[in-house]
Chain A
Amino acid sequence: MSASYLEASARNRILGLLDPDTFVEFLGPTARVTSPHLPGLDMPVAFDDGVAVGEGKISGRTVLIAAQEGRFMGGAVGEVHGAKLTGLLERALDIKPAAVLLLLDTGGVRLQEANAGLIAVGEIQRAVLAARHAGIPVIALIGGRNGCYGGTSIAARSCDWIIGSEEGRLSISGPEVIETVEGAEEFDSQDRALVWRTMGLKHRRLLGEIDRVVGDDIAAFRNAAQEYFGKSRPLTLEALETQHEFLAKRLERFHDCRDAREIWSRLGVNEPARVPDLDPDQFENLAGTIAVQRP
Chain B
Amino acid sequence: MKEQSRQKLERLFSDLFGNGYKVDFDGSLLHGEATFEGTTIAILGTSERAYISASLALEQARIVLDVMRDHPGRAILLVVENSGQKLSLFDELIGNNGYIAHLSTCLDAARRRGHKVIGLVHDLAISGGFMATGMATGDCYACEGAELRVMAPEAMSRITRIPLERLSELTKSNPILGPGVANFERIGAIAGVWSGDLRSHLRHALASPDREDPRRDLGEERGGRQLAAKVARAVREGRQRL
The residues of A with any CB-CB pair to B shorter than 8 Å are 24-28, 30-31, 33, 36-37, 40-41, 53, 55, 79-80, 82-84, 86-88, 90-91, 94-95, 109, 111-123, 125-127, 129-130, 133, 150-151, 153-158, 170-173, 177-178, 180-182, 186-187, 198-199, 203-204, 207, 209, 235, 237, 240-241, 243-244, 247-248, 250-251, 254, 257-260, 263
Contacts and interface: CB of A to CB of B under 8 A. Distances in A.
A209 B150 CA distance: 26
Interface in B176-231: 176-178, 183-184, 187-189, 212-213, 215-216, 219, 225-231
22 contacts: A26-B235, A37-B176, A80-B231, A83-B228, A86-B216, A90-B235, A113-B176, A115-B189, A118-B150, A119-B187, A123-B213, A127-B213, A129-B108, A151-B128, A171-B92, A171-B95, A172-B85, A173-B91, A207-B95, A209-B95, A247-B98, A254-B93
Contacts of B155: 180
B89 interface: yes
A106 to B, nearest CB: 13
Mostly, the B contact residues are: helix
Contacts of B1: none
Contacts of A80: 227-228, 231
Contacts of A125: 101, 104, 108, 131, 135-136
Nearest to A33: B242
**Which 6 pairs, one residue from A and one from B, show the smallest C-beta to C-beta distance?**
A87-B235, A122-B135, A87-B232, A157-B101, A83-B231, A153-B97
Interface in B59-73: 61-62, 65, 68-69
A182 B54 contact: no
B90 to A, nearest CB: 7
B132 interface: yes
A126 B102 contact: no
B234 interface: yes
A269 to B, nearest CB: 15
A153 B101 CA distance: 9
A244 B61 contact: yes
Contact of B176 (A115, A121, A150, A153): A115
A171 B150 contact: no
Mostly, the A contact residues are: helix
B89 A258 contact: yes
B225 A172 contact: no
Interface residues of B, number: 81
B92 A186 contact: no
Given A122-B131, A257-B93, A83 B229 contact: yes
B105 A235 contact: yes
Contact of A119 (B89, B102, B219, B227): B219
A250 B93 CA distance: 11
B160 A112 contact: yes
Interface centre among A119, A186, A240, by most chain B C-beta atoms within 10 angstroms, is A119
B109 A235 contact: yes
A172 B92 contact: yes
B87 A177 contact: yes
A199 B92 CA distance: 7
A187 to B, nearest CB: 5
B11 to A, nearest CB: 28
A88 B238 CA distance: 8
Interface in B97-116: 97-102, 104-106, 108-109, 112-113
Contacts of B128: 150-151, 154, 172
Nearest to A156: B97
B234 A109 contact: no
A5 to B, nearest CB: 21
Nearest to A241: B65
